[in-house]
Each structure stands twice: as structure tokens, then as C-alpha cells.
A and B are shown apart, each in its own frame.
Chain A
Amino acid sequence: MNIFGFDVLSFLVFASALAALLLVFVPSEQKAIARILALGLSVAIGGVAAAVFFAYNTTAAGQQMTFQTEWFGLLGASWHVGIDGISASMVLLTGILTPLAVLVSWEIEDRVNMHMALILFFEAGLFGTFVAQDLMVFFLFYELTLVPMFFIINQWGGPNRKYASTKFFLYSLGGSLGMLLAIQLIGITAGTFDIPTLITQTDLWLNLSRPDGLFLGIPVNTVKGLAFLGFFVAFCIKVPVWPFHTWLPDAHSEAPTAGSMLLAGVMLKLGAYGFLRIVIPLFPDVWVADISILGLTTNFATFFAILAVLGIVLGAFAAFGQTDIKRLVAYSSVNHMGFVALGLAVTARIYGEQFVTGSTELAQDAIIATNGAVLQMFNHGLSSAGMFLLAGAIYHKTHTRDMTQYGGLWVKAPIYGGIFIFTSMASLGLPGLNGFVSEFLVVRGSFTVYTLLTVISMIGLLFTGGYILKGIRSVLHGPFNMHWRDYKLEIDMREFIAMAPLMVLMLITGLAPNWILSVINASVTQLFGGS
């Protein structure tokens, strides 16, 4: 598929970047032009992204729409893009959320053109990361996403934005350094950064061996372990996996609404995507190798699962303990992404064992868990973006995020109330809406692999109910706070339009998940050697 002489995936990346560039040159006093232009461009790009998703052929799973060309030959890197079902769903998510974020950013009055440009620039980074098939390209775009988001938080954020943006930036960058080293290590060792090559030609890296068992004077396993840790920490921070999550509540709650939406909606998925695309396929043996932590023998996959469950449980508790609505939603991300992490832990464990021993035992469970994890990534993208939009909408009107200041707003904002409850329920995992399908799949998949941990994670699921109800109760229920008597609290038309596609997708995915699950499933099944 080619557009204007570019292959479609490269087009997505460059079109977003060019759109951003174009917006920079819109005079800053021309707010309307900047807004409409940004919306039009992002809708068009989103359309292309959707087309890419639907053009993905599920019967022939695997890399599609690939394109490779010389790029930075000196390093051995090449411009290699392509998507599988997992990338396709993420590309779709990015394509959907960006126009909505642009639409929500209408409320920005200050340097509109720059704000919109940063959003589109961010989109370019996301697309680049999701379609990259080369470690260097991946790293480049992975890091590129940081810059626009840093400025969005730093320039348009809430009162505590300097602290939040700095924390966000340093945290992410700190993780990325190890990843850069790990990428270089792989590059030096294998002589290529090409991900499919690294996976298919197992001699290069996967079964790396040296005659004397040493590499650069260090045992090969240690080298691999260190490279693994580099990636592991970087992606854990991004997901975020407990206890690397504390940047998230600050960044989310201080970011402007559009920033929170994109941050929670797509950026967190970069981490989980990184696990699926890089860490699990490139380090299968490391995941299941015995390690000793505090005298207990375990392996990284189990360790990861424990962290995931801690994230689920403590994230839910922490959300339950909030009084700041955006912080509550932010912590709900920790909780929900914990399920993604749990699913990924199962993936890593079973994939690793399959790689090491060749047994296909529990492969079906792992497929289900992985499907659940990827679907949960998509679903969380929808529901958390929706929740942030709604939290932002009420914040925009009341100028407070303190939930104790709200109360009984439903009477003045009946439509908002309905939407809020709907979205909350999607986030809660109400059967019939999207969150349930993915959570069920993760629970089902991980039950046989990590039984006890899954049982413990149910505490988190219970308190998901707790904080969601707390949110509904303090915003909508209760005696009306007369302070807001003369405020206009009802949702704006523009916000409603931005919510509508999310709600439709939540409902459709909950009722008939196969429209996206079939795409994901094709690639996940292939990952585990199925067809």
C-alpha cells in the first residue's frame, strides 16, 4: 500500500510529523485556523490508521505492509517498518485518540498552534514506535515521544506542572538509558538491529554462544541478563509496573486534558508493546532462568507477575484513597495496566518455557492471556482516555479537582452524569462493556499459570469497584453543593462529540469483541507457534 509514493506506514509517521511542522508555522494568533487545521489533519491521519488496521489480513498473520530501506548503514540500522496484529490495534488506537485529543484541546487558548503541533508530533512518535521493526528506529521514536509530552505538561499543565514534568521526563529518560545500552549491546553482538532478523536467525542473539562462553570478557548469560534488565526497567517504567509508577499520578494529574488522554491512552502502551515486541521475543530464556531474590528462587516472569499483581492491588487501593479526581483516574491506570502486565508475565513465562524446553503445555492459556493483555491495552486506551476527558471536562468547569468539593452534580449535568457512569462502568469492567472482556481473558489465561497471584489480584478487582463507585458517588451523588448553583456544568457539545466514538467503541468491543480480537489473536497465536 503506497500513499504519495511512500509506503503507508512510513507515510503515517511522516505525515504526522509534517502536519506538526505545518502547524508550527500557523501564526499563533490564528487560533481557529490552528484548531481546525489540526483537527482536519489528525482526522485524515486517523483515517489512514484505521484503513491500515482494517487492511490487515488476519488470515495471513505476521508482518504485513513491511518496508525496508537503507538508513544509517554505518551502524547497521535500517528503516524497517511493518505491522502485525498487535501493532495494528495500537496504530488504530493512536489514530483514534489523537483527533479526540485535538478536539478536547479546543479549550486551550494559549499558543494554540504549538500545542496542536506538539500533539501531532507526539502522534508521529507513537506511530513510529508502533511500526518500527528495527531497534534503532524503535528507540528513536520511543524517545521522541518524550519531548512533546514533556512540553505539553510543562507548558500547559496544572499548578504543579514543573515538578510533574521533570519527574516524568527524568523517570522515563532514566529508564531509557539502560535500554540504549542494551540496544547497542545487541547491535554489537549480532551485527544488526533488525528485530525480525534477530528473532528468526537465532544464532545472532537468541542462542548467542562464544567458544569460551565469554563475551567482552563477561559470561554470555550475564551479558544477556544485563541487556534484559536494561529493557525490563525501561518498559516497566513506561507501563508502569509497580513500583515504577509514581511518575504517573503526578504527570497525569498535572497534564492538560489532552495530554492526560494521550498519556494514559497511548503512551503507557509503549511499554507493554515494548515487552511484546522486544523483551519477550529477544530474551525468552532470561525470563524463565532461575534467579534468586531475597533468598527465594524464582524467575523474572514470576517476579514480573508479582509486581503486576502488586500494581493491581495497591493501584486500586491507592486510587481508592484519593480525593483528587485526576489522581484517582491516574491510579486506575496503574490498576488496569497491572492486568496487562499480568497477561504479559504469562506470555513471557510460557513463551520462555516453550523456547527452552519446546513444550507446548499451557500454550492455549498463554494465548488467551496475551490476547487479554493486548485487548486490555486497547480497552484501557479507550476507557482511561474517556475518564480523563470527563475528569478534565468537570475540572475545566469547576476549576477544582478536589472531589470533596463536588457533590450531586448529576442534577445539573444529567448527560454528563450518564456518560460518566457509562465510562466508569467500562473502566470498572462491567460485563457487556469492553474492560470486562480483556480482564476476563487475562484472568482466565493467568489462572492456570499463576493461580495464587490471580486469586490475589481479585482484591484489586474488588477495589476497582470501590474507587469507581467513590468517583461516581462524589461527583454525581449526594446533596447538591450549592456552590455550583450558577455554574454551567453540563458537558459541552465538543466534549460530547469527543466522547461519542469512545463510548461506541467501548460498547461494541464489549458486545462483540471479535472485530479487534481476531486481528490480535492471529498474531498472538502465531507468536506461540500456532497458525
Chain B
Amino acid sequence: MDLNALINDPNFLPWLIPVGPLLAFLIITLLTNRSKLIPATSEEYGGHHPDYDGMSVPVVTTRSRIVSITVGLSGIIAAWLISWQVVARATSLAHLGEEVFHSAVVWMNTGVSTFNMGVLVDPLTVPLLFMVPFACLMIFIYSIGYMAHDPRQSRFFSLIALFAGAMLTLVVADNLLLLFVGWEIMGLCSFMLIGFWFEKPSAYKAAIKAFTTTRVADVIMLLGIAYLYASTGTLSFREIMYNPAPGAEIVAVEGGSEAIVSEAEGEEGAIVEGEHEGEEGEEGYSSVHAETLAERLANTPALLIPGMSAASLIGIFLIIGTIGKSAQFPLHVWLPDAMEGPTPVSAMIHAAAMVSAGVYAVIRMYPLFAAGGDPHHGIFTPPLLVMAVVGAFTAIFAATIAVTQNDVKKVLAYSTISQLGFMVAALGIGGFVAAAFHLITHAFFKALLFMASGAVIHGMEHGEHHVHAHGHDEAEEHSHDSHGATVVTSHAHDAHDAHDEHGHAHDDHGHEEHAPHFDPQDMRNMGGLRKTMPVTFITFLIGGLSLAGFPLITAGFWSKDEILAEAWAGTTHGYGPHALVFVLLAIAAFLTAFYTMRQIGMTFWGEARTEEAKHANLGRGIVSFTMTLPLVLLSFFAITAGFVGVPSDFPLFGAIFSPEYNAFHHLVGAALIAESSAVPFNIFPVLVSFAVALGGIGLGYLMYWRKPLQAGEVDPLVSILGPVYPVLQNKYYFDELYTALFVKPSQWFAKNVAYEFIDRGVIDGFLHLLARVFTWIGDFLKVMNLWLIDGVGDGIPELMAKSGISFRRLQSGRVQTYMLLLAIAALVIALVFALSTGVLQAAP
């Protein structure tokens, strides 16, 4: 095959997108992950490693660190370049919705059917192909600085590469199974990365929690996949949702049926060339609406649950997967704990990859969920209703929690849950374009916020070290300064993490006065960081304003506005779910703006509340550079990403950015036949957007900027919220509830019922009883044996012996005895003789 032609073939290119990171993962894992053993007391650990007293610990060698970074970086850059190349080609096509890039290979044969695996780039894929590789690249660059002194750096980069590869696989997948493969591998990566500092109990607990919680959802999603496959015979997105079903009645016969035929035949062997359904199918789609498999499912009654359509049940199964992956209520508990991982991982999970995957999967399968309903005309299918309710509830639920959190990353974590709720709710009311839009903008500004908060934490740790060095040893100060951030390793997290309930033997430096209580992530310890970390401050502010939806100039405004507009449009028609979503999301948006301002105020504004905060900075050199560069690049997109989706009839801005049509809407909306036009412009939702964003920002400003928190001062919210505050602070006690309801009982059941009672008690008990019964029977037979058989066998000789012994007594050796016997015998004989012959009778 001509390699050059292959590489220029847009149908083939998507195959190459995940290859780079996956290859990087393999190379780093197998080849370049070399460590050397270094005593735990060495400088690499800042003189002391709390977990490994007096032993040698493997530390990645400098060479393999550099090679690993290079390999990983090249893998991700390759993915990024190819992705943007594909994006460029895709957006230049006029009708991408119909002329998708697609190719597939035979993956497995079962019976007479074959399962094809392939890649697909269609309008839904394009935005993610734009965002994901770029965000991953930013995260990777950032990690170079952030993880610069971690002893297991190679492993980190290999896992990040695998994470990116899995996400990209998921994005380009042309079928649900391949999507699920990427989905689960991301689950594994999140498990590995959240528990990256596996010595820390809070870290591995969070890792297990994340994996288990998402797995609850995933096994149900697997059921949905199995059900879908069983009822349609395929898992390909296009075959299920866009292409006419086999045997469907198509009026414009020629184009449509030919497309089907060519697909049904399915070229044997390697790569099936791009199908370009559009060329033949255009009339089939646009002029005539042929029934798709998804719609056929909507008319099929479901198994198990009467009164529901198969499409609905499958949809609910699949949505539960999303609820788990995108951390929606009630499976949201894992996401805040996922903060235990290194910060780049948080950015990866929260922005670029994992949680986006959940929303993406729903967008991908949207026609299936909507099949049989039409949210734009008030007809909701059960999956859509579930999404609308869950999403809207999660949005406000998580926002209320975020308001009271003091951990800089926890605030962001709950805001992620809340923002994902926005997207899911938007999907529930049919605004899948709005959801996709918000997904993209959110990814940019949330990645930015996470990395900025990571920089803050890093800076605080640096400040902390500075304080220690300063207070302890004047002479050393200089050397630490000259090291820049080098001395503080990420392991400082372990040593100073207040969440670490087990508490290591902290910090033997001799700084007990600071160390055990200081938490570099606690915003109450910060303040005034704008002075020492200006770049971080500005980028954080941009990201925060975007999250808050600052009107007109931030990306977050446009995407959030579109969701609200979508909801309002339905509300005006009197659709209940729309109204619910609109009200809840508006309140959530208000809270979002408020807690964002609270966070920025507490972190950057005012005066430093601790010595550490006063000295917080990123230092100089490569660490500082690699950590700030992504922030700057991302903040560009946190502002501009919104302009691709400005409604064309929006006053002024529409004319500037969308002179002809709403670019984003035009691109993504084209994926679906049903989604033809954006909602018409309405001033009311825009005003609401303005009001909630500015209101929230204003309130936050009043409370936390105008009168910044002083050192030792209690958060004003505590008194305002009163008894509600501890409830929110403790996340509505969901962790405790789940532990009591699910974790403990299942552990108890596993140990005491399933193992001890059923297996050891009942089954083994029965077996042992059986064995005992047989032993008893055996014993009984043994006794019988002794009595009867041995009795006869041994008895005769024994009898002889015994009688011999008793007869021996006669042999006394006394002649007289013999004589007596003789006499008696003679007498007896005589008597007998006499009697028998009748002598005695005759005698008289």
C-alpha cells in the first residue's frame, strides 16, 4: 500500500491519532523506565523520606527521565498535530455530517456476523479532536515542571500518555465497544494516577473509590452495550443512529439502499475504505427520512420492564455509565477525592479527558436517547428526563457544596461536577449542541484553573520550604533559593497533607511548629498571592471569570448562555423539564460566580495570612516556565473559545463573530438530521445570564475582595449559613452515608455471609457432615468387622488357647489328682454303663 497516499487519506488518519500516546506509553513502560536505588536519606527526598526509613528507594535516573519526557512529549505532539490536521480537513468540508471520515477493520467473528472496529471523524468528533490533544499537551508540558522531582516520574508520564491515548481512542471510536475500551482504560489510568503516591492511605483510598464508583456505572453501561448489540446486531454509531435500518422503507431508493448494500457486504480483510455515505446518501437523508435502528428500537418494547421501549432502557443503562464517569449525582463522590492525585492528573480527569468522556458518550449516542421523543416539542423520553433532572440537580447540588470548601482544589472539583451537571441537563432538554459547546469551553477554562491551582499549591509548598529554611538555618537559605523549586518534591504533599488521617511520622526536619498543621491547599492559609505570583493570578482570574460566566468576553458566558437560552426556549412553550432546568441552572450559575470570586479573593487578594503565603512563588527556571506556559496558552482559549459559538442573531457580537451562521452550531448541529436550527435569540435568558454572573461576582466581591479575610479570621459564610454550613462543608455527608449503606455492608456480606457462612458454614459444613457420616459408617463397619469376622477368625484359635490354659490346670503333676479323676471317670463310666444296660433297673 502506498504509504504516502495512506497518510493523506483522511479516512485513515484518525487511526494514527491515539497511536502516538499509546506508543509512548509502551516505550516508556518497557524501555525507558529505569530507576536507581537511592537511600531514603539522600537529597532527592529533601534529606528524609517519611515512608522508607533506612532503606533504599528506587528513583528514576536522570537519563531515563529525560528520555521519558521526550518520548511522551513527542507522542502527544504527534497526536496533537495529526488531530489538528484532521480538524482542519474536516472543517473545510462543506457537509462533514454526511461525508464523515470513516474506516474499519474486521475485529472478530461470531457466528455468521462480524464485528468491525474502526475510527470515525464526524462533526461531533471535531471539537473534541480540537480540544483534547491540545489540553493533553498542555497538561504534559505542565507536568514536566510540576513532577520535576518525583522519583517515579517515568511512570507518571507513561500513564499520562496512556490516559491521553485512551481518551483519543474514545474520541475517534466508531462504535460503542471501542468507546468503552477507551472509557475503561481511562478508568484504570485514573485509578493509577489518583493513587500515584500510593504510600498515602488517602491517595489509594481515593483511587479505589474512583475506580469502584465508576465501575458501578460501567457494569450497567456494559449491560446497555450488550442489550444494544443484542437488539441491533451492531454497535457502530452511524449504523445505529444515522444510517437507515436494514429493510427500512426508503423512498429515495437509489442512494440510500446502495449505501446500505455496500455496508452490509462489508469488505473482507483489512481496511474498509471510507464510505462517504453522503455522496450516495445525501438525497436519502435530506429529502426522505428513513427509519434508523435507533428509532426502530424506540418502537420495540423493552425486556424486563413493561411499558418502556428498548431504546429507553438501553438509554438509561448507558446514561448510568455517564452518571458514573461524569460524576453526576448520586455517583459524584469519587471526583472530589480524585484530588489526591498530582494536580496534572486532576486537570486530566476534570477537564481534558475522563469526565468529558461521559458527556461525549451521551452526545455521541444522543439520537438513541432521543429516539421516540422530541424535547424541542415537549416530548421527553425517559433517558432524557433522567438526564434533565439529574443534571440540573447535580449542578445546583455541587455548587452549594463548592461554596463552603476551603481546599483550593476541592472548590474546583465541585465546580466541575456542577458544570458537568449543566451539560447533562442541557442534553436532557435536547440542547446537545449547547452541551458540546460547554464541554469544550469548560475543558479549556477548567484545565487552566486546575493547573493554576496546582501552581498555587506548588508556590505555597515552595513558600513553606522557604519559611522552614529561613527560620531554621540562615546559612542554608541561599542554597535553597538557588535551587529554586527543586528541593520541594511532590512528596511534600505526603508530609504535609492535613487530609492524611493516618499521619506519617511527619517531617523530621525539626519544624514541628509549622509542619504538621500546614496545608498548602487550604485557602485560609493563602491570601495576597497576586503579588508573588502575578502570572498565575491573571490566568487564574481569566479562568475564574470564564467559569463564572463573565458576560460577553469569556468563553464560559457564551456556552452557559446557550444552555440557558435552550432551556428558556422550551420554558416559553410550557415544558416542565425545561423550566426546571432553567431555574436550577440559573441559581447554580449564580452560585458558581459567587464561589469563584470567593476562591480568587481568598487565594490572591488581600494580604498574606501566613508566612508561607508571603513567600509563595514558583521560583525560576524550567519548572516555572513549563508551569506557566500552559496557563498562558490556555487562558487564550478560555476567552476566545466562546466566540466560535456566538449566536448569529446576538446583538453586535453576532455580527462580529458569526456574520453568516453560528460556526459551532453549524458544525456540530449538522451531525444530526433533526437538529437543524439554533434557538432564536431571546433577550430574557441573556439578561438572566448577565444577572446571575454579575450578581454572583458582585456578591463575591463584596464579601471577599472589598474586605479580604484577615489571618485567623473565620470565613463570613460560617455565620451567614449557620447550621447549614457544616452540612455543606461535609458534602451533605454522602461519603459517610455510602460507607454506612454500601461499603460496610458489602464488606460484611463478603466476609461473613458469602465466605464464612455460605462456603465455610453451609457448603463445607454439609461436606464435613457428609464426611463425618461416612466416617461414622466406616467406624461402625469396622466394629462389625472386629466382632463378626475377626471374631470368628481370631476366636477359634483363641478359644483353643484359652481351653488349653484351663485344661492345663488339670495337669497338676499330682498323681492323686489324676487318680481321683480316673476314679471319677471310672465311676461315671460305670454308672453310664450300668444305666445304659439297665443293670441297675434289673438289679432289684
Q: Which residues of A does B touch, CB under 8 Å? A: 167, 170, 243, 245-246, 249, 314, 317-322, 331, 363-365, 367-368, 371, 408, 410-411, 414, 418, 421, 425, 430-432, 436-437, 440-441, 443-444, 447-448, 451-452, 454-455, 458, 461-463, 465-466, 469, 473, 476-480, 482, 485-486, 512-514, 517-518, 521, 524-525, 528, 530
Contacts and interface: CB of A to CB of B under 8 A. Distances in A.
B754 A425 contact: no
Contact of A462 (B52, B113, B216, B756): B216
A469 B208 contact: yes
Given A454-B223, A530-B111, 6 more contacts: A321-B754, A364-B233, A430-B185, A462-B212, A473-B208, A480-B52
A120 B759 CA distance: 33
Contact of B758 (A314, A440, A518): A314
Contact of A458 (B211, B220, B754, B762): B220
Interface stretch (B395-403, B713-721, B743-751): B743-751
Interface stretch (B101-109, B542-550, B687-695): B101-109
Output the residue of A245, A246, A365, A368 with the most chain B CB within 10 A. A246
Contacts of A479: 51, 199, 201, 502, 504
A512 B303 contact: no
A411 B112 contact: no
B732 interface: no
A354 B506 CA distance: 70
A431 B184 contact: yes
Nearest to B767: A246
A476 B211 contact: no
Contacts of A454: 223, 226
B657 interface: no
Interface string B183-207: 1110010011001001101001001
Contacts of B177: 431, 440
Contacts, number: 178
B222 A414 contact: no
B806 interface: no
A440 B226 contact: yes
A462 B215 contact: yes
Contacts of B759: 245-246, 249, 314, 318
Contact of A521 (B110, B183, B752, B753): B110
Given A243-B763, A462-B219, A479-B504, A321 B752 contact: yes
B110 A517 contact: yes
Given A431-B180, A514-B106, A447 B211 contact: no
A452 B754 CA distance: 21
Q: Which bracket fits the contact residues of B?
A: 35 or more
Given A246-B763, A514-B106, A521-B111, A465 B212 contact: yes
A518 B51 contact: no
A333 B191 CA distance: 24
A440 B176 CA distance: 12
Contacts of A246: 759, 763-764, 767
A208 B52 CA distance: 73
A458 to B, nearest CB: 4
A514 B180 contact: no
Contacts of B504: 479
Given A408-B198, A455-B223, A465 B751 contact: no
7 nearest A-B pairs in the assembled complex, by CB-CB distance: A317-B754, A321-B751, A321-B750, A367-B111, A431-B181, A320-B750, A477-B204
A469 B304 contact: no
Q: Is the interface of A mostly helix, strand, loop or mixed?
A: helix
B55 interface: yes
A458 B223 CA distance: 8
Nearest to B215: A465
Contact of B230 (A444, A455, A514, A521): A444
20 contacts: A243-B762, A318-B759, A319-B750, A321-B747, A321-B752, A364-B233, A367-B110, A410-B198, A425-B188, A431-B177, A447-B227, A454-B223, A458-B222, A465-B215, A466-B746, A479-B199, A482-B55, A485-B54, A517-B109, A521-B111
Contacts of B106: 514
Nearest to A513: B108
Nearest to B184: A431
Given A410-B198, A451-B304, A480-B199, A444 B215 contact: no
Contacts of B29: 418
Contacts of A320: 746-747, 750-751, 754
Contacts of A461: 219, 222
A442 B191 CA distance: 26
Interface string B721-752: 00000000000000000000000001101111
Nearest to A371: B110
B780 interface: no
A411 B184 contact: no
Nearest to B751: A321
A167 B766 CA distance: 13
Contacts of B107: 512-514
Nearest to B771: A170
Nearest to A414: B58
Contact of B199 (A444, A478, A518): A478
